[in-house]
Chains A and B, each alone.
Chain A
């Protein structure tokens, strides 16, 4: 599977633009994006199939001369390249009053590499009609399970990524896909309304279509139990996190804190903890597009840096951060392949990809049995980082009370975990020997710049404040 014609037909124009702008800048690159999307959404009363309504198609030019970086985003590169180069020089510039206050950056490593990357996909095997019929059948099966289900939604979202990177010495292209399948029910019992969801995310449509129907019984049973959920009594508890919440913890507790553009901004306390203990000695944490196969498993990042598998925490010691081209340049380190953009119109920052705790040696059953009174916490809702001061908030969809080493039928919802990051991570006392990474997440930088991420890991036993 090669990249599509939109990018291949513009490759020479990109090279010419790099050459022209190279007369004024020491480093110039062009990233081309052609990301096609499809959504199939079916619920009780409506359905739709949409294509490319959240696609990304265009180019971003990046330049530096040893001071600030300049970028120009445009939908197409073609025609009169000399005029385009002049326009870029004119428009991607700063007011004269700001010129003296620019950063100084180190030369960008532009090691020669010409390579194409592709990953198998099966999108051509399924027609829109087949996808719609599959979703409709699942929706009907869910609705038939209970009269209390007021709405059921079945959502398939496909992502078909083509990217091209051109600099003076590099020409890379990549093609890969991903599919998120999501089931949602709204369930009403008397005055109590709840929402529950299940998901299946793979790089092949066939795998998602096979997995989703198997989730129906669990989905409906969970919704029914959630109608009886009560608020958790605020307090500090022994808690076991499921892989989804483990991933949320990895993401919010330390993932954001080791994004190295935050180091440059002096916004991350982690910078001063390199080589020091930040978690229980049984903890190991990684991030990387090459660390596992999930939604953020690209071959090169939006700066043209090849995908990495970065160990962030080893035996409880913080050993490495993750960086984009600019932050690595400012810190004098090698970029780790974590430069990501929301789309071609946005800036690249240091961003997480697939972030997770490594599995341990404990059996989940033993972990539950070790708790006199506490909760097992399930499913990520949202979270918020605080990389400078290490406060953390993670919101899970629900929890199940553990009494005398056994899971009960007592559900609590919602569950807000909060605390001080080192306290939470150092309290980890058991890690299960299983491992799941879930690829349906979206991550913002602050409150914007959304990119697709996965996170996960094993179950963790820890002590944390719930409320």
Chain B
């Protein structure tokens, strides 16, 4: 952000403020939008913004106020907003805390094979990789969106923090479609990668086109399904994101957490015991970061060990309130794999969910479930695509039965088993 030095200078001299912080982001995005194989829209976006915070210590408490700034903000606007923020901060009576302190300057780039490459070429290469996957008769990609993004984040505060990181990502949204059956059917796929492997994109899209073809043949079963359920990375990610959110220091401080340190997520495990670590960096994950928006350097933390909650995690302020060491706002969930190969996991009768409208996980109501748009039912001999069904279960009971695959994968901020098997789910 061009005016970050000016913002820092004004905030640091603001009368009545005891401390300041500013987090600025510069985002450059190149985007292609295809409709039925034709290029419909080309976009380029260049955007900079900053969020500034001022802190006022008063009456034994700390008040803070934040405000947004953009690149058009001149000294007059920054000074006006800073003065207003001080006035607001004086109305806030929060418990005292200090900002992260760090005298070591950081200027780094998250490792990625996207570094230094031409954005137009990357986008074109991705489009071609998707096109190469479209070899199946009656199947194709009805809509494709490609985003090539470079984001630079800088955090500075009044306690010496001065950190900058550059992150490269590519995102793809693709709609695999099959027109083979009586009715055309589709799936919805969205991916974000921290590095690019065009061959993997081709393989992944081809596999999803196979699934679309299966949805065209899928029928609602005319008998009750009573078998374990296998989930794939999209849904596994949702499940674990919900579980780890309960250990976030902010939730704990506000007493909104369901479980406390020492509690068990698995009371009587009959499958694999869960071991989960929150991490800052995971290779190829678009969620990887070196520091959070407070400027706290990220520190990995084991939070569930053998099914038991052993620690919380979270950002500076709420960690201080709880008397804990801040890990920073960790964005990657690393789930330890099991010992069961996928082939073995899939050998017994099961329902493998491929496409859900959205896995619903409700910790408070002890619920897991959702509407299934495509699944494969395996009766021990034959694997058939099914649709038009739903599933639900008691989360606490289901987690006791979880079996984790030996093979691992990365999806967004999730790193862990490629498949999990859950028992005690109602399928209806």
Chain A residues within CB distance 8 Å of chain B = 6, 37, 43-55, 57-58, 68-76, 88, 91-95, 97-98, 101-103, 128-129, 132, 150-151, 186, 192-195, 229, 231, 234-235, 264-267, 269, 326, 330, 344-347, 382, 384, 386, 388-389, 391-393, 395, 413-414, 416, 418, 420, 446-448, 465, 467
Contact A384–B358 (Cβ < 8 Å): yes
Asked if B299 CB lies within 8 Å of chain A CBs, one says no
C-alpha gap A192/B68 in the complex (Å): 39
Residue of A nearest to B175 (CB): A267
- Residues from chain A with a CB closer than 8 A to the CB of B69 are 52
- Residue in B42, B124, B362 whose beta carbon sits within 8 Å of that of A92 in the complex: B42
Q: How large is the interface on B (under 10, 10 to 19, 20 to 34, 35 or more residues)?
A: 35 or more
Would B94 and A389 count as touching, CB distance under 8 A? Answer: no
Cα A344 to Cα B46 with chains together (Å) = 10
Q: Which residues of B contact A384 (CB under 8 A)?
A: 357-358, 371
A231 & B40 in contact (Cβ 8 Å cutoff): no
Closest to A391 in B: B373
How far, in angstroms, from A44 to B253 measured CA to CA in the complex?
10
10 closest cross-chain pairs (CB), A and B? A52-B68, A73-B45, A393-B357, A418-B371, A384-B357, A95-B124, A393-B371, A150-B255, A234-B428, A76-B72
Stretch among B4-12, B29-37, B265-273 lining the A interface: B29-37
| Consensus secondary structure, chain B interface | strand
Q: Is the CB of B41 within 8 A of A71?
A: yes
Report chain B residues within 8 Å CB of A46: 94, 254
Most A CB within 10 A of own CB, among B45, B186, B370: B45
Q: Could you tell me if B35 and A73 are in contact, using CB atoms closer than 8 angstroms?
A: no
Complex alpha-carbon distance, A101 and B37, angstroms: 8
Question: How far apart sit A355 and B357, CA to CA, in the bound complex (Å)?
Answer: 21
Asked if A393 meets B177 with Cβ closer than 8 Å, knowing A6-B72, A47-B92, A345-B45, the reply is no
Residues of B within 8 A of A413 (CB): 365
Interface string of B91-110 (1 = CB under 8 A from A): 11111000000000000000
A93: chain B residues within 8 A (beta carbon): 42, 120
Task: For B183, list chain A residues within 8 Å (CB).
Answer: 269, 389
The reply to whether A75 and B47 contact each other, CB–CB distance below 8 Å, is: yes
How far is A43 from B256 in the complex, measured between Cα atoms in Å?
12
B367 at the interface (CB under 8 A from A): yes
Looking at the assembled complex, report how far the CB atom of B69 sits from the nearest CB atom of chain A, in whole angstroms: 8
**19 new A-B contacts at CB < 8 Å, known A52-B69, A102-B38:** A44-B254, A48-B66, A51-B66, A51-B85, A55-B68, A69-B41, A74-B45, A94-B120, A98-B39, A102-B40, A128-B91, A132-B92, A267-B143, A389-B215, A389-B373, A392-B357, A393-B357, A416-B392, A446-B190
Distance between A86 CB and nearest chain B CB, rounded to angstroms: 13
Q: Are A51 and B81 in contact (CB under 8 A)?
A: yes
In the bound complex, CA of A150 to CA of B256 (Å): 7
Interface pair A53/B367, CB less than 8 Å apart: no
CA distance A130 to B88 in the complex (A): 11
Say yes or no: is B209 at the interface (Cβ < 8 Å to chain A): no
Complex alpha-carbon distance, A66 and B15, angstroms: 56
| Nearest opposing residue in chain B for A417, CB measure | B371
Q: Which residues in window 401-420 of B have CB below 8 A to A?
A: none
Least CB distance from B393 to A in Å reads 9
B358's closest neighbor in chain A, by CB?
A384
Interface check B340, CB cutoff 8 A = no
In the bound complex, what is the Cα–Cα distance between A113 and B65 (angstroms)? 42
Q: Tell me which residues across on chain B come within 8 A of A94, comparing CB atoms.
A: 32, 39, 42, 120, 124
Shortest beta-carbon distance, B273 to chain A, in Å? 22
With contacts A193-B258, A231-B365, A467-B369 taken as known, whether A388 is within 8 angstroms of B185 at the C-beta atoms is: yes
Q: How far is the CA of A124 from the CA of B341 in the complex (A)?
A: 64
CB of B66 within 8 A of CB of A50, answer yes
A193 & B364 in contact (Cβ 8 Å cutoff): yes
Cβ of A273 to closest chain B Cβ, rounded Å: 12
Report whether A416 and B43 are in contact in the complex, using a CB–CB cutoff of 8 Å. no
Cβ-based interface call for B195 (8 A): no
| Shortest distance from the beta carbon of B178 to any chain A beta carbon, whole Å | 10
Q: How far is the CB of A327 from chain B (nearest CB, A)?
A: 9
Most chain B CB within a 10 A radius of its CB, from A37, A46, A345: A46
The answer to whether B43 touches A265, judged by C-beta atoms less than 8 angstroms apart, is no
The CA-CA distance from A186 to B255 in the complex, in Å, is: 8
CB distance from A290 to the nearest CB of B (A): 27
- Whether A416 touches B88, Cβ cut-off 8 Å, given contacts A58-B70, A68-B39, A75-B71, is no
Pick from B127, B358, B364: contact of A194, CB under 8 Å: B364
- Nearest chain B CB to A379's CB is how many angstroms away? 14
Q: Restricting to B32-82, which residues have a CB under 8 Å from any CB of A?
A: 32-33, 35-49, 51, 64-72, 81
Contact of B27 with A by CB under 8 A: yes
A70, B40: Cα distance in complex, Å: 9
Question: Which residues of B from 240 to 276 have beta carbons under 8 Å from A?
Answer: 253-256, 258
| Cross-chain contact A386 with B357 (CB below 8 angstroms) | yes
Report chain B residues within 8 Å CB of A446: 173, 188, 190
On whether the beta carbons of B41 and A151 are closer than 8 Å, the reply is no
Interchain nearest-CB distance for B345 vs A (Å): 25
B241 → chain A closest CB, angstroms: 13
What residue of chain B has the Cβ atom nearest to residue A262's Cβ? B143
Q: Which of chain B's residues has its CB closest to A94's CB?
A: B42
Which residues of chain B from 350 to 404 have a CB within 8 Å of any chain A CB? 357-358, 360, 362, 364-365, 367, 369-371, 373, 387-388, 390-392, 394
Is the beta-carbon distance between A53 and B67 smaller than 8 angstroms? yes
What residues of A have a CB within 8 angstroms of the CB of B387 in the complex? 391
CB distance from A22 to the nearest CB of B (A): 18
Given contacts A44-B254, A48-B66, A265-B175, contact A101 B93 (CB under 8 A): no
Contacts A151-B254, A384-B358, A393-B370 given; indicate if A92 touches B186 (C-beta within 8 A): no
Docked pose: A252 CA to B113 CA in angstroms? 39
State whether B357 touches A266 (Cβ < 8 A): no
- Contact of A186 with B256 in the complex, beta carbons under 8 Å: yes
In the assembled complex, B200 has its CB within 8 A of some CB on chain A: no
A98 partner residues in chain B, CB cutoff 8 A: 32, 39, 124, 127
Interchain CB contact under 8 A, B95 and A45: yes
- Judged by a CB distance under 8 angstroms, whether B135 is at the interface is no
Chain A residue contacts of B388, Cβ below 8 A: 391, 420
